[in-house]
Amino acid sequence: MTNFQQFDEQLNILLVGFSKVGKSSLILRFIDNTFDENPPITIGFTFKTTIIEQEQKRIKLKIWHSSSQEKFISSVRHHYGTADAILVIYDITNLETFEFVKTWMEEIEKHSKPQTLKILIGNKADLRKERIINYEVGKKVAESHGYLFYETSSKDSVNVETTFRTAVSSILQQDRTKDWDENAPLLQNENKKEKKEKKGCC
């Protein structure tokens, strides 16, 4: 059994995005290595906690996500300010979820800490035939805003662990003992090997 009382650092990771883009599924896949075709609808804010071993440390992760209902979108601003990493999620088969990405990014820019790591994620990459947003389009938006970019599949377990592990590694590489230089570039992912794609959906 994991001992949640013993850890070297605690990090807060926040996932935002429209309903049904797969926020809960990404968390469930990363923490429990499972997938639910019909996860329960999230009301308000919720989080899951896990301990991982990385960079020769025990890291406690508190992974938050919220409902996309309008009344909760405004209240997420507090969590922007406390997050070490923010993952903005869209569904590659749903144009509306992608078009709203820039609104999330504007809110994050206003309310997050300058050093907060930011990642844009195109989820449900297994739904190739239903794809509407091309990989290159998502990557271009991410790079233009200083975000890292991944496409993931919770159902196939594609890039899910890679994304979270990259976030943790990048945060730990930051010099968090000094005042952040707002002009300093975000740390980039280096030498991360993609997990081999398995057969399946979301």
Confidence of residue 1 (pLDDT cuts 50, 70, 90): very low
Taking the alpha carbons of 155, 122, 46, 53 in that order, is the dihedral positive or negative? positive
**Residue 179 in this model has a pLDDT that exceeds 80:** no
Confidence of residue 199 (pLDDT cuts 50, 70, 90): very low
Mind listing the pLDDT tens digit for each residue in 93-140?
A: 999 999 999 989 999 999 999 999 999 999 999 999 999 999 999 999
Q: Report phi then psi at 37, rounded to 5.
A: -60, -30
For residues 185, 141, 151 and 160, what is the CA-based torsion angle, rounded to 10 degrees? 40
Whole-angstrom distance, CA of residue 71 vs CA of residue 197: 37
**What is the per-residue pLDDT for 11?**
96
Confidence of residue 197 (pLDDT cuts 50, 70, 90): very low
Mind listing the pLDDT tens digit for each residue in 41-56?
A: 666 667 899 999 999 9
Q: Report phi then psi at 51, rounded to 5.
A: -115, 130
pTM for this entry: 0.81
Confidence of residue 183 (pLDDT cuts 50, 70, 90): very low
Mind listing the pLDDT tens digit for each residue in 148-164?
A: 999 999 999 999 999 99
Beta-bridged to residue 120, according to DSSP, are 88, 149
Higher pLDDT, 185 or 61: 61
State whether residue 60 is helix, strand or coil: strand
Confidence of residue 76 (pLDDT cuts 50, 70, 90): confident
- Which tokens in the block code for residue 20? 């049904």
For the segment 32-44, the average pLDDT, to the nearest whole number, is 76
CA nearest to 25, candidates 14, 17, 34, 16 = 34
Alpha helices in the chain (DSSP H): 23-32, 70-75, 77-82, 95-99, 101-111, 135-144, 160-173
Taking the alpha carbons of 79, 57, 27, 140 in that order, is the dihedral positive or negative? positive
For the segment 182-199, the average pLDDT, to the nearest whole number, is 41
Q: Would you kindly state where each structural domain of the chain is located, as residue ranges?
A: 9-173
Beta-bridged to residue 12, according to DSSP, are 62
CB 62 within 8 A of CB 10: yes
In the chain, the percentage of residues whose pLDDT exceeds 70 is: 76
Confidence of residue 36 (pLDDT cuts 50, 70, 90): confident
Residue 24: count of CB within 10 angstroms of its CB:
20
Higher pLDDT, 8 or 43: 8
Any idea which fold 9-173 has? Rossmann fold (3.40.50)
Cα separation values, 7 from 13, 50, 57, Å: 16, 11, 8
